[in-house]
Amino acid sequence: MTMNRRTALTIGALGAAAGLIGAPRAALAQAPATGAPATGAPAPIANTSAYRFRVGDATVTAIHDGVAYRPLEGFIKNATVDELKATLAESFLPTDRYAIPFTTLVVQTGGKLVLLDTGLGEFGPPTAGLWMANFRAAGFDPAQVDTVVISHFHGDHIGGLRRRDGTAVFARAEIKVPAAEWDFWMDDAKAAAAPDAAKPGFANARRVFSPMANDVTRYQWGQEVSPGITAVNAAGHTPGHTAFAIASGSGKLLVMSDTTNNPQVFARNPDWAAVFDQDADAARLTRHKLLDMAASERMQVSFYHAPFPATGFIARDGANRYRMVPANWSAA
Ligand SMILES: [Zn+2]
C-alpha cells in the first residue's frame, strides 16, 4: 500500500499526541513550532495540556504536569504482577511499566483564584515539569494566585510551592493544608522514628513548609477552604489526605485527589492497596465510600492521577467494582 499524504499526516499527528506526556522536558524545549518530525522520538505538542470546564458558575482548569513511570513489581501490595498486567491490558494501558500522570486543578470561584495542589515543580522526573508552562499557557500568572489548597504532603502535590533556590512560587498566596497532615509530617518525633524509605518525605515537607510555617493555615475536614470548596475526609492514603467538594449553583465536582491512583486500575479494583497507601485499610474504606457516592449521585469527579484531562464520572461495573467514564471533552 502506498501511503498518501493524508495518511502520513494523520499518523504523524497521532505520534505527536501519543508523545505528549511521555517525552522529556528537553524534547519539549526543542519541539518544532508546527508539524511532527519524520524520524526519531515523537515530539510533544507544547502547551496543550490545559483543559477548562464549568462547574455551575465556577471555572475549573485542569493543568497537566507530566507523567512518571515505575516498575510493576512491588506496586500493588495485595495483587500479583500478572493480575496488575491483566487490568492494565483491560484498560488499554501499557503493560511493561506503570504510568502515573499528574493533573492539578485551578478553580475560579467566589472571586478567588485557587489552586488545588501544585504538581512536582522543579523536583520531578524528566517526563514531568510541564506544569508552569501549561499554567501560563492557560492565561494564569503565579503572582495572581490567591489561595493554594494542599490535599496531602506527597512531593507530587507540594513540590511546586517552592523552587530549588528556596524562593516561593506563589508569592502572595495563602497556603492551606490539612491539619491532620501537618500534625503528622511536621512532627519531629515521627520524622525521627520513620523508616528510611519515609525519611525523604519528611525532609521534603520541611523544605517546603518550614520557611512559611507561621503563615500556613491548617484546615479541618468539613470546613470551606475557599468559598464553594469544602474539604472532605479522605484519610488512608496519608493520615490527612483530603478530597474536595466544589459546589456552585447546581454544579458539583468531587475532587478525589489520591483516593485512587489511576482510576482505570483502582476503580476496577478498589480493594487493591498501592504501595503509596500509608494505611491500606483506611484507604480502601475511603475509596469505596467516595466511589460509591460519586456513582450514586452521578457526580462529576476529577482525579490527580487519571489520564488527562482527568475528569469524568464513576459507573458501577459489577459487584464492588467501578469504572471511570471520561467527561465529554470539548474545547468550547
Ligand atoms: Zn499523588
Sheet holding 229-233, edge to edge: 224-226, 229-233, 242-248, 251-255, 300-302, 311-316, 322-326
Q: What is the DSSP string of 144-174?
A: G--EEE-S---HHHHGGGB-TTS-BSSTTPE
- Ligand 1 centroid – CA 257 distance (Å): 7
For 39-75, what is each residue's pLDDT tens digit?
666 665 666 789 999 999 999 999 999 999 999 999 9
Residue 119 Cα to ligand 1 midpoint, Å, equals: 9
pLDDT at 35: 56
Identify which has the larger pLDDT, 7 or 260: 260
Sign, CA dihedral 295-266-115-206, equals positive
Please say if the pLDDT value at position 81 is more than 90.
yes
Half-sphere exposure of 61 (CA within 13 A, CB side): 20
Q: What is the pLDDT, as a whole number, of residue 330?
A: 75
**Distance between Cα 33 and ligand 1 center (Å):** 32
Please provide the distance, in angstroms rounded to a whole number, between the alpha carbons at the two ends of the chain: 38
From the CA of 152, how far away is ligand 1's center (Å)? 8
Under a CB-based contact definition with an 8 Å cutoff, are residues 291 and 314 in contact?
yes
pLDDT for residue 12: 34
Strands 217-219 and 174-178, by their bridges, are parallel
Distance 255 CA to ligand 1 centre (A): 13
Distance in Å, CA 305 to ligand 1 centroid: 7
User: ∠82-154-253 over CA atoms, to 5°?
Assistant: 85
Burial (CB count <10 Å: 0-12, 13-18, 19+), residue 196: exposed
Q: How is residue 58 written as a grid cell?
A: 465556577
Cα–Cα dist 152/55, whole Å: 23
> From the CA of 78, how far away is ligand 1's center (Å)?
20
**What protein residues have CB closer than 5 angstroms to ion ligand 1?**
156, 258
For residues 212-240, average pLDDT: 97
20 pLDDT above the threshold of 60:
no
**pLDDT, tens digit, for every residue of 88-97?**
999 999 999 9
Domains of the chain and any CATH numbers: 48-326 (3.60.15.10)
CA of 130 to the centre of ligand 1 (A): 16
C-alpha of residue 258 to centroid of ligand 1, in Å: 6
Instruction: Say how many Å lie between the CA of residue 9 and the centre of ligand 1.
Output: 36
What pLDDT, on the 0 to 100 scale, is given for residue 6?
41
CA 125 – ligand 1 centroid, Å: 14
106 burial level (CB within 10 Å; 0-12, 13-18, 19+)? buried
C-alpha cell at 99: 504510568
Distance 103 CA to ligand 1 centre (A): 9
Per-residue pLDDT, 29: 42
Indicate whether 24 pLDDT > 90: no
